Amino acid sequence: MGRVLITGGAGFLGSHLSDLFLSRGHEVVCMDNFITGSPDNVAHLFGRKGFEFVEYDVTNYLHVDGQLDYVLHFASPASPIDYLEKPIQTLKVGSLGTHKTLGLALEKKARYLIASTSEVYGDPLVHPQKEDYWGNVNPVGPRGVYDEAKRFAEAMTMAYHRFHGVETRIVRIFNTYGERMRLRDGRVVPAFVSQALRGEPMTVFGDGQQTRSFCYVSDLIEGIYRLLMSDEQEPTNIGNPVEMTILEFAETIKRITSSKSEIVFKPLPIDDPKIRKPDISKARAVLGGWEPKVTLDEGITRTIDYFRGRI
């Protein structure tokens, strides 16, 4: 089935991708430097046939022995806390890391997939967001280090495709949640769940009327795999189009956890997007009928069960 390199392979999404590729008969080279990833996420894979782990920073010179059929670049801080604490590393892995991994794909004649993000749309003026929308991004704001790193990564990927003929795929990932998220990574799902389970006040920023659309990790990973195996070379949104306000989401977490936590309001962070909802018409059309299957209640219940054992 082929050999795949997954950078950021010990992260939330990378570890689930490692599981999926191994389950479908691929060999996996998992690479991570543990800036935000964790050995715990892939500990169950050590010793498994076809799995190899390499601790390495992909912004450096990159070489992998042997054949590679696929290169998936998922290495990057991905939560506001992480990229505000590690702005330079975030920019480097989006620029230098993308350059190094694309060069490796070119050398190995491997198909390449870059993990981009809905953040390339910034604080959108178009709703829902389609792939042909160019975005509304503040390049010098605090979130710019992540937004522009991913926008640059997309541009570099298309340059390698057009100039070098590398087979490339670009996935724009919308809010995803599930097991193996870090409790303190600053994103809304682990924040609300940990606060609710501890009985602490649940922090809602702004008035809570900003919207998000939440996709369970298994749905996202299946979509990414199908995109890699498809012929689609332009950016493709993958996420769940069911939209809700952050306040509604907080109430959902309270209900499922049976928490007594109160909901408190704090000022909205700079450049925080007011709306976020993917248009997944393209994914449905080109990915063999893919669409999200796991309901929010089902996925959140699984995620809460995972976090209960870690609090």
d(CA 116, CA 189) in angstroms, rounded, equals 20
pTM over 0.75: yes
Sign of CA dihedral 141, 143, 146, 148: negative
- Supply the DSSP symbol for 97: H
For position 76, what pLDDT does the model report?
Answer: 97
Residue whose C-alpha is closest to residue 50's, from 3, 110, 8: 3
**What kind of fold does domain 3-178+215-241+277-293 have according to CATH?**
Rossmann fold (3.40.50)
Pairing of strands 51-55, 211-213: unpaired
The residue ranges of every structural domain in the chain are 3-178+215-241+277-293
Predicted pLDDT at 311: 84
Active site residue 146: yes
Considering 146, 160, 177, 225, which one is annotated as catalytic? Answer: 146
| Cβ atoms 137, 81 nearer than 8 A | no
Q: What is the pLDDT of residue 186?
A: 83
pLDDT at 183: 87
pLDDT tens digit at each of 311 positions of the chain? 899 999 999 999 999 999 999 999 999 999 999 999 999 999 999 999 999 999 999 999 999 999 999 999 999 999 989 999 999 999 999 999 999 999 999 999 999 999 999 999 999 999 999 999 999 999 999 999 999 999 999 999 999 999 999 999 999 999 999 999 998 888 999 999 999 999 999 999 999 999 999 999 999 999 999 999 999 999 999 999 999 999 999 999 999 999 999 999 999 888 888 999 999 999 999 999 999 999 999 999 999 999 998 88
Residue 183: C-alpha distances to residues 24, 186, 222, 288, 298 (Å): 29, 8, 24, 34, 19
By the 8 A CB rule, do 283 and 236 touch? yes
CA distance 311 to 304: 10
Nearest in space to 246 (alpha carbons), one of 196, 212, 197: 212
What pLDDT is stored for residue 270 in this prediction? 86
